[in-house]
């Protein structure tokens, strides 16, 4: 239940997939302000923002919405939940510049996939806040629910299943996460806290999941179809094997994520020979596809933060990453092709 003491959360990107989902779920117990693109605010005003939780009818998100340029300290946010895509630097700089004179700077929550959001955000905070950047607690979230947009009865909804599951931990700043733990708990979000020292391990573990399916999409097929085709399934497995080698070389480790025994999965992927894995490729493809609720997100537009991260890590560790590089090149080509196609009609 909300009252005057409810936590004040600004969700930046509230019209997007994850932003809308977080805004809807958090609004049950917190005072949520949705921040959306200036160009979108008028249409949103007319059509509303809708979500569809699995097994339920579409529901409208009923929170106060403002456009990005109207964001100010007047709402006195305690938490800024940034749900925009990678890279995050310019958005973090833009919003914290606007509230830099607040007496108590809000905690910044970053739910992007990949390994770069924390560092980019910290650099942006230092740029706009100087010494005061240290006062901002930066928290990383690894969200495990796939969130998609779908059209229902002429309405564009954001669809996801419940419960919302995530891991979270402090990237920098004060270590106490009492405020966020209570925020997630009240909203019924299954949130597992990860100690600050293991936050990089949480990120590499989530990235393991994100890498799956990119080889297939880079070939222009769904994950399920990709695993049915031996040549593509082989690339999917080799991509993960190469990633595990890189993660070990940089001294990181996999951790289990809520409901996902990732340590065991990475161990098996590493140890089992490719020929053996290929025998089960269709089954594996179908299990992963089912776990994602048959949602094929594609995500090629963030490939520089998926396979691209592995290439960067590999360079740091002096480990060649020819498989990621091959996938990255093909994915970028497909993306460019798609963008040119969109522009020309
Ligand atoms: N979708 C998933 O299933 C999922 C799951 C786990 C994690 N993630 C991660 O979450 C991040 C966001 O993904 P998403 O799928 O939610 O993306 P999305 O649907 O594109 O949502 C991002 C929203 O933020 C808006 N935005 C961008 N910059 C903004 C700004 N400065 N101020 C206000 N709004 C701004 C975007 O508007 P424009 O489109 O106009 O830029 C868009 O509406 C990604 O890093 C992704 O890896 C996604």
Tokens of 176: 């106490």
Q: What is the rounded CA–CA span in Å between residue 23 and residue 81? A: 9
* pLDDT tens figures, 305-325: 999 999 999 999 999 999 999
**Alpha carbon nearest to ligand 1 atom 9, residue:** 112
Distance CA 127, CA 234 (A): 44
Instruction: Tell how far the Cα of 279 is from the centroid of ligand 1, in angstroms.
Output: 37
Q: Which residue has the higher pLDDT, 294 or 313?
A: 313
What is the band of 296 on the pLDDT scale with cuts at 50, 70, 90?
A: low
pLDDT of 2 above 90: no
Query: What's the pLDDT at 293?
Result: 76
Percent of the chain with pLDDT over 90: 90
pLDDT tops 70 at residue 295: no
- State the distance from the centre of ligand 1 to the C-alpha of 225, rounded, in angstroms: 26
Best probe residue, ligand 1, of 10, 11, 12, 13 (max atoms within 8 Å of C-beta): 13
Q: Which atom of ligand 1 approaches the CA of 112 most closely?
A: 45
Q: What is the pLDDT of residue 49?
A: 97
- Which one, of 231, 213, 209, 232, lies nearest residue 223 by Cα? 213
Full-prediction pTM beyond 0.75? yes
Cα–Cα distance measured from residue 234 to residue 268, given in angstroms and rounded to the nearest whole number: 15
Instruction: Please report which confidence band the pLDDT of residue 297 belongs to, taking 50, 70 and 90 as the band edges.
Output: low
Q: Give the CATH fold of the 8-193 domain.
A: Rossmann fold (3.40.50)
Q: Is the pLDDT of residue 223 over 70?
A: yes
Ligand 1 nearest-atom number relative to CA 144:
6
Where does the chain hold its CATH 1.10.1040 domain(s)? Answer: 204-343
Architecture of the domain made up of 204-343: Orthogonal Bundle (1.10)
Ligand 1 in reach of 35 Cβ (< 6 A): yes
Is 210 near ligand 1, meaning CB less than 6 Å away? no
Q: What pLDDT is recorded for position 291?
A: 86
Tens digit of each residue's pLDDT (9 = 90 or more) over 175-219? 999 999 999 999 999 999 999 999 999 999 999 999 999 999 999
For 134-163, how does the pLDDT look when each residue is reduced to its tens digit (9 = 90+)? Answer: 999 999 999 999 999 999 888 999 999 999
- Where, residue-wise, is CATH 3.40.50.720 in the chain? 8-193
Euclidean distance between CA atoms 115 and 211, whole angstroms: 12
- Residue 54: exposure state from Cβ atoms within 10 A (0-12, 13-18, ≥19): exposed
H or E element, residue 212: none
Residue with tokens 């992963």: 288
89 lines ligand 1 (CB under 6 A): no
């Amino acid at each position: 239940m909300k009252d005057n003491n409810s936590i004040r959360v600004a969700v930046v990107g509230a019209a997007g997939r994850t932003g809308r989902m977080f805004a809807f779920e958090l609004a049950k117990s917190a005072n949520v302000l949705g921040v959306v693109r200036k160009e979108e605010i008028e249409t949103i005003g007319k059509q509303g923002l809708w979500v569809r939780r699995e097994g339920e009818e579409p529901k409208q998100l009923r929170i106060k919405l403002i456009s990005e340029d109207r964001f100010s300290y007047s709402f006195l946010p305690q938490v800024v939940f940034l749900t925009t895509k990678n890279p995050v630097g310019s958005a973090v700089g833009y919003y914290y510049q606007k509230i830099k004179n607040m007496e108590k700077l809000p905690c910044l929550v970053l739910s992007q996939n990949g390994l770069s959001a924390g560092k980019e955000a910290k650099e942006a905070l230092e740029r706009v806040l100087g010494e005061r950047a240290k006062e901002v607690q930066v928290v990383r979230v690894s969200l495990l629910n796939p969130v998609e947009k779908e059209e229902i009865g002429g309405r564009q909804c954001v669809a996801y299943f419940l419960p919302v599951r995530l891991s979270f931990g402090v990237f920098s700043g004060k270590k106490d996460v009492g405020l966020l733990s209570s925020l997630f708990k009240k909203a019924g979000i299954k949130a597992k806290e990860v100690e600050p020292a293991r936050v990089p391990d949480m990120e590499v573990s989530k990235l393991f999941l994100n890498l799956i399916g990119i080889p297939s999409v880079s070939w222009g097929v769904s994950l399920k179809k990709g695993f049915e085709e031996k040549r593509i399934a082989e690339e999917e497995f080799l991509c993960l094997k190469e990633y595990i080698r890189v993660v070990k070389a940089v001294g990181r480790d996999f951790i289990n994520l809520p409901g996902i025994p990732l340590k065991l999965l990475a161990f098996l992927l590493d140890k089992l020979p490719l020929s053996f894995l290929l025998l089960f490729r269709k089954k594996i493809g179908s299990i992963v596809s089912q776990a994602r609720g048959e949602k094929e997100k594609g995500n090629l537009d963030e490939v520089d933060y998926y396979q691209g991260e592995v290439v960067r890590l590999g360079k740091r560790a002096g480990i060649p990453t020819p498989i990621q590089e091959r996938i990255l090149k093909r994915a970028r080509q497909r993306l460019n092709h798609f963008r040119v196609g969109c522009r020309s009609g």
